[in-house]
Amino acid sequence: MNERTSSNIAPISFVAMIGIVVVVLAAFLPIRVEVGPEAAQAQEEPTPQAVQVAQAETNVVEYTLRTRIGGDPAMAYVGVGGEIDGVVNPELVVNLGDTVRLTVVNGDPALHDLKIDEFNVYTGEIIDAEQSVTVEFVADQPGLFDYYCSIPGHRDIGMEGVLRVVGEVVAGDEGAMDASLEDEGYGSGDMDHGQAASQAVSPAVEDAASIVRHPADLPAPITATEPQHHVVEMTAVEVDGVLDDGTTFRYMTFDGQVPGPMLRMRVGDTMELRLSNEIESLLPHSIDLHAVTGPGGGAEFTQTMAGEVSAFNFTALQPGLYVYHCATASIGHHISSGMYGLILVEPEGGLPPVDHEFYVMQGEIYTEQDFGTEGHLDFSHEKMLDEDAEYFVFNGAAGALTQDEYALRADVGDTVRIYFGVGGPNAISSFHVIGEIFDRVYDEASLTSEPLTDVQTTLVPPGGATIVEFTLDVPGRYILVDHALSRLERGLVGFLYAEGEENPTIFSAENHPEQSGH
Ligand code: CU
Ligand code: CU
């Protein structure tokens, strides 16, 4: 088929194709032009404006942009005044050599900025509503340049536009060339400053919250025999939280803790989920529940701005243990910062009773600064894209479940069930409890398949979950890990204490160490 199709078009295509390539190249030429005499001459089709340029005297051009959340696209810059008034993400046209004075006004109480990389233009963070920042630069190279908001996610959902600098570099126009060479990277004070800033660390936030959800904090089994309607209210909360001793981080959470609250319903039940986003939030948030059959798992109807509420209804069609998470760009930023949780849809008749149920989730945290740095660490979008996490965490913070306050506790002879999920967003977990064997694993959290029996380590993908069950036969300290054990040294470890009588027929030793484990 393919061969025949290509031979059909061959006779007519070559000339036409070359023509198209030339047209396409011409269209893109202004972007690709390097600033240099030869390249400048290669740009042969001056636009009408281009004819008027290359004047020597400095001309000042002023533009004002106002940020907007909501509408189409979801975030944008809107022109204020002059020809760009009311235009969404307007093209800003200036002549080569112009001094551009660009004012950005914050039209909402969210965090924004504006950058134009090629001119080292950066407004800095603009936080308050109606706050405005003016930047000034010389448009010393021709072409098309993107202006955009560098707050993670904002460009993806619309905050970008084009600056068109029209004109040609005239041979002998040394000033413009020197300036643009400097922009390429050498000897630019601005760039040095940027790099130094990323190495630095602010002091830890003093009143940072504990964001750790206690692993015993989950709803009791459903007892109703008839289908129920559940109304769940959740709040997106951005909060400075304790990541490690002496270390804080800006978390994004559902209800202030990581993971978010565990939700529980039974197959056939209905749920109304209401998501509010705190007025203090800098970003919009949303929720996608994998238990939902419907657009975006709810995310399409819950993109929620600061101070707003959204809601939807769904019916639980299939039993299982499902991940939920925020699905607002940059999704990886929101998830890794803590916006995930589990929703259990019990099968008809519920799950067999056990003595203890626990709720544990694994996540990654991407920081500019190295693991173990004290202070208030900054999120690194780059490391997130590289899937190069500094921290791995159970329930939100480094080693949180090893602390007496948050460790899992049970008695010898008890049956234990752990609802375990991976928020991620990227790393697969090889979930293992050191010193125990899982009697049953509901593999991939399927509750309609027979559970696996007698399992040492079970795989859990990001956006996936498992349910493991075991009986505690001997006392001691058991250790929850991802058996990719390098992650233990990056914070991924928890303790389960079993108290009670020794059982020497199962386990005995000469010495009696306080610490058990590998
Ligand atoms: Cu979010
Ligand atoms: Cu998902």
Residue 237 has pLDDT above 50, yes or no: yes
Residue 1 has pLDDT above 80, yes or no: no
Closest C-alpha among 427, 417, 426, 377 to residue 397? 377
C-beta of residue 39 within 8 angstroms of C-beta of residue 180: no
* Res 171: pLDDT: 53
Closest C-alpha among 326, 321, 319, 393 to residue 357? 321
Ligand lying nearest the CA atom of residue 275: 1
CA distances to 223, 231, 290, 293, 316 from 313, rounded to whole Å, are 22, 9, 14, 10, 10
Contacts (Cβ under 8 Å, ≥6 apart) of 11: none
Torsion of CA 104, 331, 487, 406, to 10 degrees: 90
| pLDDT tens column, 313-372 | 999 999 999 999 999 999 999 999 999 999 999 999 999 999 999 999 999 999 999 999
Q: Which two tokens stand for residue 88?
A: 């969404």
pLDDT band at 41 (very low <50, low <70, confident <90, very high): very low
Better-predicted residue by pLDDT, 44 or 90: 90
**Region 235-243 average pLDDT:** 98
C-beta of residue 408 within 8 angstroms of C-beta of residue 355: no
**Region 24-37 average pLDDT:** 37
Residues in the chain: 518
Query: For residue 327, how far is its CA from the centre of ligand 1 (angstroms)?
Result: 6
Closest C-alpha among 266, 249, 267 to residue 258? 249
Ligand lying nearest the CA atom of residue 296: 2
Query: For residue 278, how far is its CA from the centre of ligand 2 (angstroms)?
Result: 23
Q: 20: exposed, middle or buried (C-beta count within 10 Å: 0-12, 13-18, 19+)?
A: exposed
Sheet holding 429-434, edge to edge: 408-411, 494-499, 476-482, 429-434, 457-460
Query: For residue 514, how far is its CA from the centre of ligand 1 (angstroms)?
Result: 42
Query: For residue 271, how far is its CA from the centre of ligand 2 (angstroms)?
Result: 19
The neighbourhood of ligand 2, an ion, using CB within 5 A, equals: 288, 463
| pLDDT tens column, 418-450 | 999 999 999 999 999 999 999 999 999 999 999
Ligand lying nearest the CA atom of residue 298: 2
* Res 241: pLDDT: 98
* Res 510: pLDDT: 79
Query: For residue 324, how far is its CA from the centre of ligand 2 (angstroms)?
Result: 7
C-beta of residue 249 within 8 angstroms of C-beta of residue 400: no
Ligand lying nearest the CA atom of residue 465: 2
Ligand lying nearest the CA atom of residue 334: 1
Query: For residue 108, how far is its CA from the centre of ligand 2 (angstroms)?
Result: 29
Least confident of 20-29, 146-155, 414-423, 456-465: 20-29
* Res 185: pLDDT: 35
Query: For residue 295, how far is its CA from the centre of ligand 2 (angstroms)?
Result: 12
Query: For residue 494, how far is its CA from the centre of ligand 1 (angstroms)?
Result: 26
- Tokens 């944008």: give the residue: 76
Residue 104 has pLDDT above 50, yes or no: yes
- Nearest-angstrom CA–CA distance, 326 and 338: 9
Query: For residue 235, how far is its CA from the centre of ligand 1 (angstroms)?
Result: 10
**Region 16-42 average pLDDT:** 39
Closest C-alpha among 227, 337, 235 to residue 287? 235
Q: Which two tokens stand for residue 439?
A: 């009697």
| pLDDT tens column, 169-225 | 665 444 444 444 334 333 333 333 334 444 589 999 999 999 999 999 999 999 999
Query: For residue 362, how far is its CA from the centre of ligand 2 (angstroms)?
Result: 15
C-beta of residue 334 within 8 angstroms of C-beta of residue 306: no
C-beta of residue 480 within 8 angstroms of C-beta of residue 495: yes
Query: For residue 322, how far is its CA from the centre of ligand 2 (angstroms)?
Result: 10
- Nearest-angstrom CA–CA distance, 289 and 283: 20
Q: 501: exposed, middle or buried (C-beta count within 10 Å: 0-12, 13-18, 19+)?
A: exposed
pLDDT band at 57 (very low <50, low <70, confident <90, very high): low
Ligand lying nearest the CA atom of residue 328: 1
Query: For residue 72, how far is its CA from the centre of ligand 2 (angstroms)?
Result: 24
**Region 150-166 average pLDDT:** 89
Ligand lying nearest the CA atom of residue 323: 2
Closest C-alpha among 327, 279, 269 to residue 303? 327
Pairing of strands 452-455, 438-442: antiparallel
Instruction: For the chain, give the mean pLDDT.
Output: 85
CA angle, 162 then 165 then 170, to 5°: 155
Ligand lying nearest the CA atom of residue 425: 2
Query: For residue 475, how far is its CA from the centre of ligand 2 (angstroms)?
Result: 38
- Nearest-angstrom CA–CA distance, 497 and 500: 10
- DSSP state, 260? P
Query: For residue 321, how far is its CA from the centre of ligand 1 (angstroms)?
Result: 21
Query: For residue 292, how far is its CA from the centre of ligand 1 (angstroms)?
Result: 18
C-beta of residue 394 within 8 angstroms of C-beta of residue 478: no
C-beta of residue 65 within 8 angstroms of C-beta of residue 76: no
Ligand lying nearest the CA atom of residue 302: 1
Query: For residue 263, how far is its CA from the centre of ligand 1 (angstroms)?
Result: 18
Query: For residue 97, how far is its CA from the centre of ligand 2 (angstroms)?
Result: 48
Ligand lying nearest the CA atom of residue 288: 2
Query: For residue 339, how far is its CA from the centre of ligand 2 (angstroms)?
Result: 11
| pLDDT tens column, 248-271 | 999 999 999 999 999 999 999 999
- Nearest-angstrom CA–CA distance, 82 and 71: 22
Query: For residue 317, how far is its CA from the centre of ligand 1 (angstroms)?
Result: 26
Query: For residue 154, how far is its CA from the centre of ligand 2 (angstroms)?
Result: 20
Q: Give one DSSP letter per residue of 118-168, joined into a string.
A: GGTEE---B-STT-EEEEEEE--S-EEEEEE--STTTTTTT-EEEEEEE--
Query: For residue 461, how far is its CA from the centre of ligand 2 (angstroms)?
Result: 11
Q: Give one DSSP letter per residue of 345-359, joined into a string.
A: EEPTT-PPP-SEEEE
Residue 38 has pLDDT above 70, yes or no: no
Query: For residue 298, how far is its CA from the centre of ligand 1 (angstroms)?
Result: 13
The pTM of the whole model exceeds 0.75: no
Ligand lying nearest the CA atom of residue 338: 1
